[in-house]
Amino acid sequence: MRQSQKTEQADRQRRIGLEDQRKTGARSMASGENTMMSGIGFQALILSRENLNQAYLRVFKNKGAAGIDGMTFDELLPYLKEHKRELLVSLVDGNYKPKPVKRVEIPKPNGGVRNLGIPTVVDRLIQQAVAQVLSPVFEQIFSDNSFGFRPNRSCADAIARTVALYNSGYHYVVDLDLKAYFDTVNHDMLMKFLERQIDDRWTLRLIRRFLTSGTMNGKMFERSEQGTPQGGPISPLLANIYLNELDKELTRRGHQFVRHADDCNIFVKSPRAGEHVLASIAHFLEKELKLTVNQEKTKVVSATKMKFLGFSLSVDKNGAYPRPVRQSKERVKQALKKLTKRNRGTSLEDMLGQIQRKMRGWSQYYCIGKMKSFIVSLDQWLRSHIRQYIWKQWKNTITRINNLKRLGLSASDAYIAANTRKGTGERRTAKRCTIP
């Protein structure tokens, strides 16, 4: 007896493995057709050997903490070698159940905590595989004004767009702040947005299971009624898919805006226009997207007073330019102060390496902003603290005298500096010796 079409498709799905699965069933997006793919195409792409191998490499590269099962990223490969077949069978048959995520609280720079949900490394692998297939599909419909968690886009691009908008005459900003956005995403609405582009029950069911896998807060299990907790590879993509509805609404209304994840600034030309936009967009967010606008932090401000991704804007005769906000400068100085604390018991080489890594990352991020005077003053302050650290390590007077002489001081000056009663003595030696 001839099998039904539904049965044939089910049998075909069960034969999907890691070998030689390509974009079967995918429609051409370049030709302008609908971006949907058939279910067999999505599943084949997600479970293909190439995609899973790429997902593994990304998970291993990102490292990260273990989930609730305690398995670390370097234990993932041995586990896959032993359990690959049963893992694939559970995925194909739809029996795969993600484990609850591990709740971790990360302090925010301005106080409070940010809740992260750390999946197990196996779940991270599957999430990464799904995200790698879904991302190209949704990149076709994402707004050009969205910059967060997207390929070939960065914070620097977002800041450059704010500068361009200010120079185009948009001198006021509606600074939107969403209260606990990642924790309040409505699952049903998110699935509805996904279904517009994904015609595959298998993929949608897998994503739903990740959303509702729950959270282990210590030894307490908490159900996931809403939200897409930060910490999983698929969460940034899902967050962008949800807020793409905001992007489409802002575009439909003709507004100029820049969004990076849940940080969104709408640029207007007057405070009155800003207040009108704020009221209407806040209503849209709360009624249509079921999100909560933080009324205390959401406001209309001059573009030169906004704080966006650690930057603010200043203006000179050539127009607007970005600069790091005061809080960013204070945080890096506090971090350096901890690294150069004199009682750390760390070798000078290790401390200098830590300072180099810290400043390399900080300067690479903030190098697009003007901060010459700050860098000069920070350099002077840091050199002073490093001198104090070296002075403390030299400990006794004889060692200080000998080391100062090797650095070029005369015997009398070295004796005077080594026997000073002025604390670390950096004022007396700063102009006469250099850091080795």
The 10s digit of each residue's pLDDT in 363-418 is 999 999 999 999 999 999 999 999 888 888 888 888 989 988 998 989 998 888 88
CB-count burial class (<10 Å; 0-12, 13-18, 19+) for 309: buried
Side chain identity, residue 388: Q
- Are 304 and 173 within 8 A, CB to CB? no
**Beta pairing partners, 107:** 113
Alpha-carbon gap, residue 60 to 58, rounded angstroms: 5
Q: Roughly how many angstroms between the first and final C-alpha of the chain, as a whole number?
A: 86
The 10s digit of each residue's pLDDT in 338-355 is 999 988 888 889 999 999
**Beta pairing partners, 176:** 264
Alpha-carbon gap, residue 187 to 177, rounded angstroms: 21
Q: Of all helices (H) and strands (E), which one includes residue 217? A: strand 215-217
CB atoms within 10 A of CB 421: 5
CATH of domain 148-185+227-323: 3.30.70.270
DSSP for 389-406, written as a single string: HHHHHH-SHHHHHHHHHH
Q: Of all helices (H) and strands (E), which one includes residue 61? A: helix 49-62
Side chain identity, residue 436: P
With a CB cutoff of 8 Å and minimum separation 6, the contacts of 323 are 311, 312, 313, 314, 369, 370, 371
Alpha-carbon gap, residue 243 to 236, rounded angstroms: 11
CB-count burial class (<10 Å; 0-12, 13-18, 19+) for 407: middle
Looking at residue 423, its pLDDT comes to 65
Looking at residue 357, its pLDDT comes to 96
Helix (H/G/I), strand (E/B), else coil: 3: coil
Locate CATH 3.30.70.270 in the chain.
148-185+227-323
Looking at residue 346, its pLDDT comes to 85
pTM, two decimal places: 0.83
Alpha-carbon gap, residue 212 to 99, rounded angstroms: 10
- Are 220 and 244 within 8 A, CB to CB? no
Structure tokens at 330: 């204070």
Q: Which residues of the chain have pLDDT under 50?
A: 1-39, 425-436
What are the distances in angstroms from CA 52 to CA 18, 25, 131? 8, 19, 11
With a CB cutoff of 8 Å and minimum separation 6, the contacts of 94 are 202, 205
Extended beta strands in 37-151, E state: 101-107, 113-118
